[in-house]
Amino acid sequence: MAFRTWLLVFFLVVELSAFVLQCVDSKYIKYNTTSTIVPGKLNVHLVPHSHDDVGWLKTIDQYYLGSNNTIQGACVQDVLDSIVPALLADKNRKFIFVEQAFFQRWWREQSEEIQSIVKKLVSSGQLELINGGMCMHDEATVHYIDMIDQTTLGHRFIKEEFNVTPRIGWQIDPFGHSAVQAYLLGAEVGFDSLFFARIDYQDRAKRKNEKSLEVIWRGSKSLGSSAQIFTGAFPEHYDPPSNFYFEVNDDSTDSPIVQDDINLFDYNVPQRINEFVAAAVSQANVTRTNHIMWTMGTDFKYQYAHTWFRQMDKFLHYVNQDGRVNALYSTPSIYTDAKHATKESWPIKTDDYFPYADHEHAYWTGYFTSRPALKGYVRMMSAYYLAARQLEFFKGRNKSGPNTDSLADALAVVQHHDAVSGTEKQHVANDYAKRISIGYKEAEDVVAASLVGVANLTSKTGWSLQNKFQQCPLLNISYCPPSEVDLSNGKNLVIVVYNPLGWRREDVVRIPVINENVAVWDSSGKEVESQLLPLLDVSVEVRKYHVKAYLGKSPKTTPSYWLAFSATVPPLGFSTYIVSSSKRADATSVRQEYKSENRKTDTIKVGSGKLKLIYSGNQGKLAQYINSKSLVKETVQQSYSYYRGNNGNQTVKPQASGAYIFRTNGTHPIKSEDKATFTVLRGPLLDEVHQRINSWIYQITRVYKGKEHVEVEFMVGPIPIDDGIGKEIVTQIATTLKNKKTFYTDSNGRDFIERIRNYRKDWDLQVNEPIAGNYYPINLGIYIKDNSTELSVLVDRSVGGSSIRDGQLELMLHRRLLHDDSRGVGEALNETVCISKKCTGLTVLGKYYLKIDPIGEGAKWRRSFGQEIYSPLLLAFTEQDGHDWTKLHVPTFHGMDPTYNFPENVAIITLQELEDGKALFRLAHLYEVGEDKDLSVMASVELKKVFPNKKINKITETSLSANQERTEMERKRLVWKVSEEEEPKVVRGGPVDPAKLVVNLAPMEIRTFVIDFSY
């Protein structure tokens, strides 16, 4: 007892003496943070950053405001607020900010005083805005046009407010990296480098070993070195080396702070310097040159920026005093310039970084398909936004609205790598869809007003504006109130059909109607060929359920038919068609039911044009594809299967299939139900084959008389889960093609990349997941070929797909899973649709297109028809009551010179009136070098014919994101040394002669112009 008392007294005395010493001797230390690059030393570039997802576990608003913090303690407003004083406190400190959707919102809320401080921080380089799009877009499930649009939106804002152009691509979190990101959204926007974290774990190991994490990436075969970019994959992840993490109140990673008061306990400066030097040397061992980057931050950090900067100040001070390595405050720009200055030669990287796996059984290939309905919605709205901006341009932009800006904003944020990717929580997915829907509503008004404006140019009466154009965004579920009107009492339905493409187009338009005796006339009064197809029960059910679920009401009528007719539409213009009652009803399809009992016939032939599909009579299965024009005759089978989603109950390295990851526990073919009816509808325009595959898969196969491809519409869901097993639904198309493990998938809808099953070009692949590890993202299409034939499949949205066996292609159409895959989202991917509180699994409706060609002929269809899939005809409806519409209105509108038609290899991907009245105009060559014998050539577009009624005062070619002149961008571009031999000469279109105004485009070239018209 006595001893213990004595001990206590002893400790008290020691404690007190320490306290006294502290009071006497603690003093102000001025940390030296002035260090810059020191040649000859290992330079550790500390890059302070915060990774702020534009929606993931919380919605974008919740992340910005810091609400809903029980889900995740994250408040981006706090990050930005706390950065400003932290940077002002020491001019050597630096910070990068990435996500413009957050930054712009914050910026608008700041006082002029803060704005002027921030402008100074930006111009001094202390605060650098990099990447600069509205979000850090995904790279697998996004279309290149959406990537360009969302980047342009951010870059132009930065240019206007700060007069700077972002230099760095910072795609640190997306789950694999695309060729299009490197060459198009990297080099072509004028970036000097691109950085990211996530590459395959096997690839990473090899690259660390060979010091090839940093490369010169040539993403495009066609544009080669003219669009290459210095690229760095981080050695681990985008957070700091372990033990150098300093967010306040974050217990998850407890790094020791630098305790540099020698009079206090736990003084640790020597130890912390040693740890710093050791971590630096270890990274230097896998990096070329004596520059390494430390990413000092991670998700939603710097909410109290001072905690990080205080520690980094101390490290700079003491590490540089120590002198073994040199530490400095840096940015990716400073780092890139330092790398460039070394004159090192870099290895070349081609193709892309897909698929991404973070361990043997964790291939992030599920998200290529996750949330297929959201993916479909995004694609549909992307096309609508493109067309709406064209119509807005023709009419003249309305500054006070309505305009297309809110659709632009909604589409921009949904390109985020936890949005269209399908890896967000359900409530966040709903938030994105709601934003798009609100944006659409406004754009719909713009389109309607534009069409009225253009159509009324010759209107002699004052009745114009009461005839508002209506549109049908739910046409896919056969819901279109304006076309479902009773025409038997003499009413006429007017349909304006707008074509956003630069070439003339013929297509079959379909609308639901309630009358049987109807016919279609063109604006010259000539009847056009039409066909009625009965609306079958399955479609009526889907329509009824989803109209109630989405609109909260039941449809008033039930249409009996689809009316299909041939529309011919001029480029960048519209045609008008009139539907009215008619005694003639001979256009009704002939309906043939093939019941399984009496399917005695050997074969059933479908298609009345050049293309015929042969089905086996007794099984009702597709057997053959015959094209009498191209002379292709190929055995084809088409089927459905599901992969059983792995539930992750392994004892070693457990891994479930989930929103990100695809991991199967076996394949199950889905057999057609024996009693299933096989129905064929035949008519003058098209034949349809209706097949109920099982109680939750229905399929319609269409063969158009005038087309040589097959259109397949699928309806999948609700996927049953009552057996406790999650399912991933695929469709397979099997042929006899000998493709030798090789197939091709597109990069973001643009370049096709060769894929070889169970093989990677960059390393010796250890195959652990023979199915999931061979999946690739598809935005445009997938194809295989052998010596004589090619089989192509094009898609209407982003999906995952592969060729798992020779001759075969497969697409994953839908997934419903019951387990979380442990990558953060914390929810199983189990989507439902609800009416009131009653929910059922989500049904997905979509299309894919199939064509078989002689070898060398497939590209024409994939590229030119692919663009038509992306940009469908836009339909608007109004009623004609007593007046003759076509006499009083412009029935045919030509946005361009009526004699002009774009070459088949060029698309207008942007035509938009900017806020300052100038026009943003982008053209894309659709073909790669060597892809097609006729169309992989230099193409030219005559601007005088594109804008016949306007005088072009000035035309300026810009970077892809329209934030700087192209010549300026080229002048600034860093030239890098590469370690490999010369490449073939790269061809590009030359400068535009202001007198001739002809734009030349080389294969795969996209050219962006800002045009100043004088009126």
SS3 content of the chain, % helix, strand, coil (to 5): 25, 30, 45
Rg of the chain taking only CA atoms, in angstroms: 31
Q: Which residue has the tokens 């919102």?
A: 105
When the beta carbons of 332 and 773 are compared against Zn ion, the nearer one is 332
Considering only residues 162-201, where is the footprint of Zn ion by CB under 5 A? 173
Q: What is the dihedral of CA 256, 260, 263, 267, to 10 degrees?
A: 40
The CB-based long-range contact list for 896-899 (8 Å cut-off, 24+ gap) reads 896/502, 896/571, 896/572, 896/573, 896/945, 896/946, 896/947, 896/948, 897/944, 897/945, 897/946, 897/948, 898/570, 899/945
Compare residues 311 and 370 and give the one whose CB is closer to Zn ion.
370
CB of 52 to Zn ion, least distance (A): 8
Q: Residue 203 CB, nearest distance to Zn ion (Å)?
A: 20
* Of 53 and 358, CB closest to Zn ion: 53
Do the beta carbons of residue 78 and residue 439 sit within 8 Å? no
* Under rule CB under 5 A, residue 507 binds Zn ion: no
Phi, psi of 180, deg, nearest 5? -65, -35
273 near 57, Cβ under 8 Å?
no
Interface positions, 728-767, toward Zn ion (CB under 5 A): none
Return the number of the residue (175 or 562) whose C-beta is nearest Zn ion: 175
Spatial distance between the Cα atoms of 772 and 748, rounded to a whole number of angstroms: 20
74 or 280: whose CB is closer to Zn ion?
74
In this structure, what DSSP letter does residue 918 have? -
Spatial CA neighbour of 699 closest among 853, 811, 791:
811
Residue 769 C-beta: closest distance to Zn ion, Å:
24
Q: Residue 424 Cβ, how far from Zn ion at the closest point, in Å?
A: 10
Q: How far is the CB of 367 from Zn ion (least distance, A)?
A: 13
Cα(806)–Cα(518) distance, integer angstroms:
48
Choices 50-58, 219-227, 375-383, 505-513 (CB under 5 A): range interacting with Zn ion = 50-58
Cβ proximity to Zn ion, 53 vs 687, nearer residue = 53
Smallest distance from Zn ion to CB 68, Å: 17
Q: How far is the CB of 172 from Zn ion (least distance, A)?
A: 8
Q: Which is nearer to Zn ion, 53 or 484 (CB)?
A: 53
Stretch that binds Zn ion, among 46-54, 236-244, 716-724, 842-850 (CB under 5 A): 46-54
Closer CB to Zn ion, residue 136 or residue 292? 136
Alpha carbon 4 to its chain centroid, in Å, reads 70
**Quick one: which of 52, 53, 78, 138 contacts Zn ion (CB under 5 A)?**
53
Interface characters, 62-101, with Zn ion (x: CB under 5 A) = ----------------------------------------
Residue number with the smallest Cβ distance to Zn ion: 173
Q: Smallest gap, in angstroms, from Cβ of residue 295 to Zn ion?
A: 13
Count the helices and strands in the chain (H runs, E runs): 20, 51
Of residues 53 and 928, the one with the C-beta less far from Zn ion: 53
Contacts of 583 (CB under 8 A, 6+ apart): 517
The tokens describing 619, both together, are 């099984």
Separation of alpha carbons 220 and 179, rounded Å: 7
Least spacing, CB of residue 56 vs Zn ion, in Å: 6
Alpha carbons 216 and 214: distance in angstroms, whole number: 7
Question: Distance of CA 159 to CAs 52, 183, 399, 831, 916, Å?
Answer: 22, 22, 20, 41, 14
Binding piece for Zn ion, criterion CB under 5 A, among 15-23, 45-53, 330-338, 537-545: 45-53
Between the two ends of the chain, the Cα-to-Cα distance in Å is 101
Between 423 and 576, CB nearer to Zn ion: 423
Nearest distance, CB of residue 654 and Zn ion, angstroms = 24
Q: Of 313 and 418, which has the nearer Cβ to Zn ion?
A: 418
Of 135 and 907, nearer to Zn ion (C-beta) is: 135
Residue closer to Zn ion, measured from CB, 53 or 522: 53
SS3 state at 49: strand
Listed ranges 2-10, 49-57, 82-90, 954-962: which one lies at the site for Zn ion (CB under 5 A): 49-57
Burial of 127 from C-beta contacts in 10 A (0-12 / 13-18 / 19+): buried
* Best CA proximity match to 706, nearest among 607, 590, 585: 607
Min. distance of Cβ 173 from Zn ion in angstroms? Answer: 3
Rounded to a whole number of angstroms, the minimum distance from the CB of residue 177 to Zn ion is 14
51 or 379, CB closer to Zn ion?
Answer: 51
Least distance in angstroms from the C-beta of 184 to Zn ion: 21
Here the tokens at position 343 are 């004159």
Minimum CB distance to Zn ion smaller for 198 or for 375: 198
Residue with token string 């970036």: 191
* Shortest Å distance, C-beta 261 to Zn ion: 38
Q: Are 271 and 260 in contact (CB under 8 A)?
A: no
Least spacing, CB of residue 417 vs Zn ion, in Å: 6
In 3D, which of 313, 300, 294 has the Cα closest to residue 53? 300
Task: Select 501 or 829, whichever has its Cβ closest to Zn ion.
Answer: 829
Rounded distance between C-alpha atoms, residue 188 and residue 200, angstroms: 26
d(CA 546, CA 479): 10
CB of 879 to Zn ion, least distance (A): 49
692-729 core/surface letters (b: 16 or more CB in 10 A; e: else):
bbeebbbbbbbbbbebbbbbbbbbbbbbebeeebbbbb
Q: Torsion-angle region of residue 64: left (phi > 0), alpha (psi -120 to 50) or beta?
A: alpha
Residue closer to Zn ion, measured from CB, 226 or 421? 421
d(CA 787, CA 474): 43
By C-beta, is 80 or 729 nearer to Zn ion? 80
Q: 450's torsion region: left (phi>0), alpha (psi -120 to 50) or beta?
A: alpha
- For residues 169 and 176, what is the distance between their CA atoms, to the nearest angstrom? 14
Q: Shortest gap between Cβ of 428 and Zn ion (angstroms)?
A: 13
Q: How far is the CB of 51 from Zn ion (least distance, A)?
A: 6
How many residues bind Zn ion, per CB under 5 A?
2
In one-letter notation, the amino acid at residue 527 is E
Footprint of Zn ion on this chain (CB under 5 A)? 53, 173
